[in-house]
Structure 1
Amino acid sequence: MPDRFPFLRLLAILLIASMAGLVVLQATQQAAAQERVERKSFLQLLFGGGNVKKSKPPTTTRTSRVKKPARSVKAAPPPEPAIEKLENAQKILVIGDFLANGTADGLSEAFEKSPGVVVIDRTNGSSGLVRDDYYNWFEQAPAIIEEVRPSIIVVQIGSNDRQQLLVNGKREAVRSVNWLAEYSRRTKQLIGILRTRNTPLLWVGLPAFKSPAMTTDIVALNGIYRKLAELAGGEFIDIWDGFVDEEGKFIFTGSDINGQQVRLRGSDGINLTSAGKRKIAFYVEKSARRLLGDAATAGVAAFSSEDFPEIFMPPAPGESAAAITRTIPVAMTDPDLDGGSALLGDMPASASLIRSPRDIMVIDGILPEPPANRVDNYTWPRGNR
């Protein structure tokens, strides 16, 4: 019997097939969600491979770590005990401004291991010789000296003095004629006060500064200090070369007392670092040790008042001084080896009458005759000399 509804049968078959396809597609998507299969490339299809699953890293179980014994750290050596100063130690009195305060710190470090020397710091950082209304050194210095009774006085002042000075009721500009005259008078007055007891005076000069204008003024002040200190029998300590380069220009970094390159000045170009303070003290230390003698050594255990050396400063110009007699050095073992045959006091008078060619040329203006045949020998005919 012929099929009367072929179209409906075909439609039913297609509907069943599509439903079956949907079921298969849904199952495939679920399987893909559970395990993603990597699609093979063309090369993998030709040569195989590509289906190797990556193995999961093995799970590690946490185990307790065994603590290693801590390394033994060496303890830092204990600081050296401070050297106890003697009751009758020689006193170095330091006065002046903020630079002098740094010098006092450097000197304290320099004589730290010297029981026979103690450094007394009586500085005032903002003081000077101009603003005596702020701090009057002319009134304060005598009381300080009477209290301390120092063996040596160290002065460093002037860094705050670059300002107008009142002279006869009129304010004078820095380094004007009247300013320099009044400042010199005040410097001389202070030196006179410090030298009342004939105490050795070490006047420390000022270093260069970053400001060229300030450095120029400091050069003028150092000239005043040097002249007046030496006229009064004191000693001027020149530190200038230690804080400038070969061309005389200001430097931040330079050599310390051991020759190492270090920072000497602060960022403002005025203040000093610890190395800079110690360097200034190094200049002063040499003169102080020369004056103190054995009292400045580190091995002094005890001293009586009679054991301290007598500190001597050269007399000021105009003061009477013993005549100094000079003679040729004589060896104590064999005088004949060095041209001498007698000790001091027994030198033949004829030795001082021998005049060298230099003395003849400088004193008398007579040149020695040139050797024969030399270019400056104008004798004619040649050969007569």
Structure 2
Amino acid sequence: MSDRKPSQQLALLLLIAAVTGLSVVQLAGPAAAQERVERKSFLQLLFGGGGSTPKPEKPQPSRTSRVSRPAPTPSIAAPQEPVVEKLDNARKILVVGDFLANRAADGLSTAFAQAPGVVVVDRANGSSGLVRDDYYNWPEEARSIVEEVQPSIIVVQLGSNDRQQLVVNGEREPVRSVNWMAEYERRTQLLIDALRGRNTPILWIGLPAFQSPSMTTDMVALNSVYRAQIEKAGGEFIDIWDGFVDEEGKFIFTGSDINGQQVRLRGSDGINVTQAGRRKIAFYAEKSIRRLLGDAAAEGVSAIDSANFPEIFMPPAPGENAAAITRTTPVAMTDPALDGGSALLGEMPATAGLVRSPRDQLVLDGILPEAPEGRIDNFAWPRKAP
């Protein structure tokens, strides 16, 4: 190799360097996809050096979107009415019955929430009724409840759980049979007698329609029992049927609330009522309650005494203590004090000089007046000369 010229030696070195660099690139090819390899210069390949390990690349920061989004508007809570403190001698409304009575009590509490003189006491039993007296005997329990609460008004809603057989004289009677209805009327009367022991006014709220047609039919029959028995005892029957059916009398899920807005009134099971439905049930009884309580049910009342809350009591049943009923003497139909007359219009004598017209003679007497002479309808014969 010493015999060669320097130019030849340089060319040979360049060839060796090129071949060596190509092999290095081929060996590093598969790894180039994973990590970056620093390429060596010609002088580094020829004389060595530059073997320092490559510095690890810094991770690139992830790109974030710079699109500006509007900040969420904070929700504004609806203003809540302040809690009104009830008076010590506030009048109590006792609510008894089944699960619908519990919903009615909830609606009445909302209706009188701002009335300091009214307190709603809920003593309903959701699974109770008049049929299963072995589970809860309302005629027996009612007396002790009334004595404990001493309410001014009693509200009853019962019967949704009573579509069951009744044992009458040892025999199981089907729902709405003759014996079943007779026994159910007797138990209804026992409950009313137990509730009116303190002569407290009773408002019996009727049952609404239900999604099941057969259940709705049974509720109609039970409402007729409640209406007859409570009115016989001097109480008041509150009919809510039209508020939960359509124009054809069919069950509805959605209807008008107390403000006339279309809302959901019944639950998905077709039995329970929503919050709006509870308020609507209470709305029917609210009018009678406000009439009985007077100014005590008003908002902002600061005290209750005999001036703004006279004593109220349940009127006696027909035929019961009739002497205590105050009756107003009716005005006689022949009383002339109103207009100065001496008799009714039908008793006025006929006028003596009254002469009947040709029409009256034809209609009343059947006499046709004679036509004047010379007129075409004058059929008198023989004709008279004009």
**TM-score, normalization by structure 2:** 0.68
**Residue 380 in structure 1 maps to residue 369 in structure 2:** no
Q: Aligned partners of 2:142 and 2:224: how far apart in 1? A: 23
- Compared CA separation, residues 291 and 170, structure 1 to 2 (3 A): same
**Residue 119 in structure 1 maps to residue 108 in structure 2:** no
**Paired positions, count:** 293
Percent of aligned positions that are identical: 68
| Aligned equivalent of 2:326 | 322
CA contact (8 A) 1:94 1:104 kept: yes
- Compared CA separation, residues 216 and 347, structure 1 to 2 (3 A): same
Deviations 1:169-218 (A, max 9, x none): 11111111110110000000000011111100001110111111111111
| Aligned equivalent of 2:337 | 348
| Aligned equivalent of 2:166 | 165
Report the Cα offset of residue 316 of structure 1: 2.2
**Residue 294 in structure 1 maps to residue 295 in structure 2:** yes
Name the SS for the 1:196 alignment partner: helix
Q: How does 1:269-308 map to 2 (within 5 A)?
A: 269-304=270-305, 307-308=308-309
Aligned letter for 2:367?
P
Note the residue ranges of structure 2 that are not aligned, 5 or more in a row. Answer: 1-62, 348-356, 371-386
Aligned letter for 1:83?
V
- Compared CA separation, residues 135 and 300, structure 1 to 2 (3 A): same
Q: Aligned partners of 1:200 and 1:174: how far apart in 2? A: 30
| Aligned equivalent of 1:45 | none
Report the Cα offset of residue 241 of structure 1: 1.0
Q: Aligned partners of 1:353 and 1:187: how far apart in 2? A: 53
| Aligned equivalent of 2:80 | 79
**Residue 182 in structure 1 maps to residue 183 in structure 2:** yes
Name the SS for the 1:195 alignment partner: helix
CA contact (8 A) 1:88 1:305 kept: no
Task: Specify the structure having the higher radius of gyration (Cα).
Answer: 2
Q: Aligned partners of 2:315 and 2:336: how far apart in 1? A: 27
RMSD value, Cα: 3.3
- Compared CA separation, residues 73 and 243, structure 1 to 2 (3 A): closer
- Compared CA separation, residues 348 and 169, structure 1 to 2 (3 A): same
| Aligned equivalent of 2:312 | 311
Aligned letter for 2:326?
A
CA contact (8 A) 1:294 1:309 kept: no
Q: Aligned partners of 1:239 and 1:383: how far apart in 2? A: 66
Q: Aligned partners of 1:130 and 1:105: how far apart in 2? A: 25
Aligned letter for 2:195?
L
**Residue 266 in structure 1 maps to residue 267 in structure 2:** yes
Aligned letter for 1:348?
A
**TM-score, normalization by structure 1:** 0.68
Deviations 1:91-132 (A, max 9, x none): 000000011111001100111111000100000011000001
Q: Aligned partners of 2:193 and 2:126: how far apart in 1? A: 22
CA contact (8 A) 1:206 1:222 kept: yes
| Aligned equivalent of 2:23 | none
Q: Aligned partners of 1:352 and 1:194: how far apart in 2? A: 52
- Compared CA separation, residues 383 and 90, structure 1 to 2 (3 A): farther
Aligned letter for 1:181?
A
